[in-house]
Structure 1
C-alpha cells in the first residue's frame, strides 16, 4: 500500500492533464522510449533460465560483483538498500566496482576470492572507460585472460545489442544480456541491468516488476492525475523554486536518493526548445539524521525548494525504547515505552508540519512496508514523474549531451 498527498494548489487544468497523458503515451507507442515496456518484458524468464542452468549454489558463488557506473549500478544499489533487511535477501555479498578511486578498488578486492565470485560487466555503450578499466584490472590481477574458461565461467555482460561489448561477448562466448536500445541507462533498473544481480540476491523480481507495472497501467489508464499535478507544479515553478528535496525517513533510502539524483539531474538539466538553460536541482536527504543539518536551511533559508517527504508506516521491526530514566535527562522520558518505528514516524510528521508552516510546497508518500512490490512501484513513480517534468519543461528527457562532452575532453587529455 502506498498513499500520496499533495499539500499545494493543484494548478494543472483538465486540458493540461489530458495532454500530458497523451504525450507519454505517444513516447511509449512510438518506440522512442522503452522503459514503459520493461514490466512486461520476457527478460526475467531468460535470466531465471540462465541462473538455473549455471547452478550458482553448486559452484559456491558467494560474491556478486557489479562492474558498472551511473545507471549501470545506482538502481541495483537502490533496490538492494531498500530490501536488504527483508527475508528474501540471501547471504551473497554484493560488491560494486564503480568509481576509479584506487583506494576503494583495493578495499573492494583485498579479500575477494575469484572462484567464489560472479562478475557482471554492465555498459550500455559497451565502452565505458571506468568499467573497461576495472575489467582489465581484474583480468590482470586474477590471471584470467578474456579468452580463457576461467574468465568465461565467471562473467556475464549486459549491454546494447551490437555494441563493442556485445561483440566481445560473441567472440569469447560470455553470456550476454541486452538492454533495449530505447532504454537509457538511468531508466534501466527494471531491465537485465537490475534484474540479473537482484535475482541472484534472492529477491522476488517478479513482484518488483508487478509493482512497477501496476503504477504504469494506472497511469496509462489516466488515473494518475495527482502525479501529473505534481510534475506540472514543479516544472511551472522551476525558475523561482529550482531545488527539489527528497526527505526520506528511513536510512534504507540512502541509495534510492542517490538514484533519484542521477535520474533527475541527467534527465532534466537541459537546454530547452527556446535555447534556455532549464532544470531542477535534486537533493536527497535522510530523516531523522538530516533534521540536524539540512532542516535549518529549509526553515530559514531561501524559498527556492520543494520537499517530498517519504514515510514508511511499518518497519517490521518492533524495537521498543525501554522504560529507563537517566539522572538529569528525565525530560526525555516521554518517549519511554514507544517503539523506534513510532519515534521516526512522529519525527517525520513533525518535520513536515514545520516545513509546511513556512509556506513551502510539500507532498508526502506513505509506504506501507518495504517489499519488492512497493519498491517497483516507487521506481516507476519517479521514472514517470521525471518524464512528465521533462514534457512540461520542453526538453529531451532521454539524452545527455553535457555528459558526452566531458567524455570527449577526457579522451583528448590521454590521446594528446
Structure 2
C-alpha cells in the first residue's frame, strides 16, 4: 500500500498499527464504529463474556484471563529465578509441547537469541535426534494445559526412559523435568510421582492465548530470556484496551474483521525484518483456531518473504509485523502491505490476542472453543486400537507413492496440477507434511512453488504440529480447502515407553486420522508417501517446478 506510513498510526505502549483505518474504510460501513457503538473496547477490557453471544458465554466466562494474565504472571517471576538457579547445571532446554504451549516460547527465544529445542512432533527421527543431544545436561519442560496431550505424554515417557537408561536413578531423572500444566490436571499428579518441578499455569487462559502465562515464560526463562521485560511490555500496552482511540488492538481487530466482511478472509503474514522472528507461526495458530469454525474464519498464510508468492491477492489482506520501524524504512521492504504492526514482542502477543477476540465479535464466532479439534484425535485413537488400513497406491513415481481419487492423473506434475485446479477463485491449498521438520526441511519449499503455480493462497504445516493450529480451521472453517498430505517411510522407529505403539505408528495413525476427517467433508485430498525421504522430497520439488501455470 503506497503511503502506508504517511497516515496516522494507532499507537500505545510502544506498539503501532498502520493502515487499519484504510481497510476499515473500504467496507460499506465502518466496522470500527459498529464496535464502538456496542462499547466493545470497554466490555472486552472488563472481561464481558456476553460479547460473542449466548452460546459462547459459558466458555468465555472462564477463558478471558489473558486480558490481564501478564499482571498475575509477575507472581511467577521469583519462582522462575529460583528454578533457573536450581537447574543452572542443566543448560540444554527442551520444550515438549504442542500448539500454543510451544509456539510462543519458540518465538520468544528466536527473537531474543536464546537456544531452545522445541519438540512438537511424533516423527521418530526428530524425537531420536533430540534424545541424543546433550542428555546429561538436558532439562525437559513438559507443557500441556489439559495434561493429556498424547504427543507431550509420549515425549515425557521417552525422555524419562532415556534418563534411566543413561544410569540415572528415579530421583535424578525427575530432577531433569519441569512440568507446566493447569491446577488439578492429570499431568500435575504424574509430575509429583516423578519428583519433577511443577509450575501451575493460569487456568482461565486457553492454550493459544497463553503466551504470557507460565506456558510461555517458564521455558523462555530457563533458556535465559529476561521474561520480566516481556511482562513489562504487555503492561505498557494493556491500559489502551478500554480506549475508543489510541487502541492498536481495536484497530487491528476491526481491520481483520472488516476485511473478512468484504471477502478478504485470507491473512498473509509477512515478517518485515525488523527484529521479531517467527511470530507468524504463533499468530497462525491463534487466529486460525480461534476463528475457523461454523463455516467461518480467517485463514492465516505465513509467507517466507514480502515478495513470496501468495503474499497478495484479491481475497488476501497482507499484514507485516516487526519491531520498530526506523525513519525511512517501509513495511516489508517496500512490498505491497495493507496493515503493518510494529512494536515490542510482549506488546505483539497481547495486541494479537485482543485483535483476535475483536475479530471474533465481528465474525460472530466464539474465539475460545475448538469444536473440531477432537475429531482427528478420536480417529487416531481408533486407528491405533484397530491397526492401519491397507491401501494401494494409485501410481508410483520413483520414491513417491501417490494415493489419489479415481480419475486423477498418473504422474506427479499432473496430479499436483489436478489438485491446484480444484481451488477455484476462493479456495486455498494446505500442504501437511508428516515429516521431520529439520531433516526434511526442504519440503517446506513446496509452499511457494505451489502458490506460484496456482496463484492462490497456500499454507504449509508440519504434522502433527498443525493439528493444534490450522487443523481446526481445515475442518470448521469455510469448506473451500484442498489438501496435500505428505508422509514418509520410517527406517528407524522408536517405541513409546509404556504404550503398545511406536512413534512411527503414532505418526502414521495421526496422518490417517486426519485424512479421515478431511475426506468426510468431500474436499479434494491427495496423499503422497515418500518411500525414501531424501529422494522423495527432491522429486516432489522437481514436480512442483514443472507444474504448468
TM-score by length of structure 1 reads 0.77
- Which 5+ residue runs of structure 1 have no aligned equivalent? 272-276, 316-340, 356-361, 368-373
Does 2:19 correspond to 1:3?
no
Does 2:158 correspond to 1:127?
no
SS at match of 2:372: helix
8 Å CA contact 1:231–1:385 kept in 2: the answer is yes
Cα deviation for residue 219 of structure 1 reads 0.9
8 Å CA contact 1:17–1:228 kept in 2: the answer is no
Structure number with higher relative contact order (C-alpha < 8 Å, ≥ 6 residues apart): 1
Distance change (3 Å), C-alpha of 1:284 and 1:156 = same
Cα deviation for residue 205 of structure 1 reads 0.9
CA distance in 2, matches of 1:96, 1:226: 31
8 Å CA contact 1:44–1:192 kept in 2: the answer is no
Distance change (3 Å), C-alpha of 1:213 and 1:394 = same
CA distance in 1, matches of 2:48, 2:32: 23
CA distance in 2, matches of 1:182, 1:248: 31
CA distance in 2, matches of 1:292, 1:388: 29
Does 2:299 correspond to 1:281?
yes
CA distance in 1, matches of 2:370, 2:240: 29
1:350 pairs with one of 321, 325, 334? 334
CA distance in 1, matches of 2:120, 2:70: 26
Distance change (3 Å), C-alpha of 1:147 and 1:171 = farther
Does 2:105 correspond to 1:76?
yes
2:158 pairs with one of 126, 133, 137? 137
Distance change (3 Å), C-alpha of 1:113 and 1:8 = closer
Does 2:310 correspond to 1:294?
yes
SS at match of 1:8: helix
1:100 pairs with one of 97, 108, 122? 122
CA distance in 1, matches of 2:143, 2:310: 35
CA distance in 1, matches of 2:366, 2:43: 12
CA distance in 2, matches of 1:251, 1:65: 27
Cα deviation for residue 223 of structure 1 reads 4.0
Counterpart in 2 of 1:328?
Answer: none
The residue correspondences of 1:5-404 to structure 2 (distance < 5 A) are 5-6=18-19, 7-10=22-25, 11-12=30-31, 14=33, 16-19=35-38, 20-27=40-47, 31-41=62-72, 42-52=75-85, 54=86, 56-57=87-88, 60-84=89-113, 89=114, 93-110=115-132, 112-143=133-164, 148-238=170-260, 240-250=263-273, 253-271=276-294, 277-287=295-305, 290-295=306-311, 298=312, 301=313, 303-313=314-324, 345=329, 348-352=332-336, 362-367=338-343, 374-404=344-374
Cα deviation for residue 269 of structure 1 reads 0.3
Distance change (3 Å), C-alpha of 1:96 and 1:227 = closer
Distance change (3 Å), C-alpha of 1:3 and 1:33 = closer
Distance change (3 Å), C-alpha of 1:167 and 1:216 = same
CA distance in 1, matches of 2:149, 2:97: 8
Cα deviation for residue 140 of structure 1 reads 2.3
Distance change (3 Å), C-alpha of 1:168 and 1:219 = same
Counterpart in 2 of 1:325?
Answer: none
Distance change (3 Å), C-alpha of 1:188 and 1:227 = closer
CA distance in 2, matches of 1:378, 1:208: 10
Does 2:410 correspond to 1:410?
no
CA distance in 2, matches of 1:168, 1:28: 35
SS at match of 1:176: strand
SS at match of 2:303: strand
8 Å CA contact 2:241–2:250 kept in 1: the answer is no
Cα deviation for residue 35 of structure 1 reads 1.0
Deviates more, 1:199-208 or 1:226-235: 226-235
CA distance in 2, matches of 1:213, 1:72: 21
**Higher relative helix content:** 1
Cα deviation for residue 151 of structure 1 reads 1.6
CA distance in 2, matches of 1:388, 1:149: 47
Cα deviation for residue 124 of structure 1 reads 0.8
Distance change (3 Å), C-alpha of 1:394 and 1:96 = same
CA distance in 1, matches of 2:162, 2:233: 41
